[in-house]
Structures are given as structure tokens and as C-alpha cells.
Amino acid sequence: MINNFSPSFGSNYNKQSAVTVLIIINIIVFVIINILRDVPWMMYLGLVPSLVLSRLMLWQLVSYLFVHAGLWHLVLNMLMLWMFGTVLEQTWGSRKFLGYYFFTGIGAGICSIVFAHNATYPVVGASGAIFGLLVAFAIMFPESVILLFFIFPMKMRYAAMVLAGINLLGALSNPGSEVAYIAHLGGGMFGYFYFKNQTIRSVLAKLSIADWYETQQRKKEIKKQNDLRNINQRVDEILDKISSQGIESLSKNERKILEQKSKL
């Protein structure tokens, strides 16, 4: 990627980020599906428009985002999620990023159902949500330059238009294709609506899954601080013991505490 006008792609990568969690979940699901091949995962977890409507399998609007048809499908989507999602999460924060990600992903699924409600084949992959991320990046950092298809340098505002055009042509010329052109366009369209509608942004700001994630992050941070405080207190006691009785007097557990402190 070329980033003359925008923050570095994937910079300050945080192992605790929402992007990391999403990538890990996608990888785990991919591994499970390929190990347990006898289970019809695609029909259960993929988005099958006819099943969502006839059997109210509404969870598919979310679960399909974590199911991928092949290794390259997974790798390309996760690469795009890492490059664009990391910057957006750093800019917005995890809560807002997660709300937007699922809003565009679910929106992409809804569009697939609307335009192909009788379809019996599954739509899978995070591509709809990824396209939503591309639209967000194009709106927020329009002058940033990327390598389109990893070859052609192009400003983000034009790259998003080119990709949208390719998907539109694909949807019009080959509507029965398994490539979910409508889902891609739907994710981008919902992303555009997000930036144009304050009500949508206000509702998503209260999205429960985002609140849950931030709450978990706060709990982890509080626990980390409490653990550090407790370790520091124990270390002081151990040092006093060493001073009075010598290091040979330390128990196995006390030595372990000193090791933990040195790692911290």
C-alpha cells in the first residue's frame, strides 16, 4: 500500500483490538469447517436467502460474515480487514468500529435477500462488510493512495468508485453468479447511508455488541491493574524476606511471583 495522505495501514497494530478478534474468529471458523467436513456448515451458517425468509434463520445475517469458501477467500478478506479496519478502529475506537462493521455486513446480507429472495445457494464471507470499510475509508481519507489490485496506484476516492463499478457490472451481467456482487454493493451502500444519516449513527452508538466489547476491555484493564498492584505488594514482602532471611528462604511460589514481576 502507498499512504502519502493517510495514516499508515496497519500501524500501531494492537493485539487486543476488535480487528484482531474478528480475524481470529474468522480463522477459527474456517479451521472448524474444514475439519468437520460432514456438517453442512454453509447451509447453517452461510446466508441462504430462501431459508432466512421461510425458516426465519435470522442468525445467518451475522454468521455468514465469518464463513469463507476457500483459503484465498479468507486470506484476501482478512488482509483487507487488517489494512483498512485497523486504521478505522484507531480513528473511531473499537465501539464505533464494531457497530459500523456489523451494520454494513448485515446490510449487505439484507440486500442479498431483497434481490435474490428465492436463492437456495449460500452467500458467505466478510466481503460486504469489507466493502463498507472501503467506502468509509474513501470518505474519511479520499486523497490516500492505494495499490488497486496490488498493481495500480490510485486515490482512494477513485478506487472505491472503480470497485463499485466492477461489482455493478458483475451483478447486471451475471446475476446468478456465486460471487456476491449484490452483497458487496449493499455493504458499500449501507456504509454511505451511515455517513449521510445522523439517526443511524446515533442508534449504532448504542449497539449492545459494541457496548459489550468495550465493557470486556475495561474489565480486562481493571483486572490487569489489580493483578499488577497485588504483585507489587507481594514483591515488596518477598524483598523484605530476602533482606532478613536470604534468597534461599523463598518458596517455589514466591520465586514464581518474582519471575512474573520481571516479565511485567
Residue 64 in grid coordinates: 455468514
Q: Are 187 and 126 spatial neighbours (Cβ–Cβ below 8 Å)?
A: no
Q: Are 135 and 188 spatial neighbours (Cβ–Cβ below 8 Å)?
A: yes
Question: Which region, left, alpha or beta, applies to residue 12 given φ > 0 means left and ψ of -120 to 50 means alpha?
Answer: left
Q: Are 16 and 89 spatial neighbours (Cβ–Cβ below 8 Å)?
A: no
Phi, psi for 191 (deg, rounded to 5):
-65, -40
Q: Are 162 and 152 spatial neighbours (Cβ–Cβ below 8 Å)?
A: no
Task: Please give the DSSP secondary-structure letter assigned to residue 148.
Answer: E
Active site residues: 127, 184
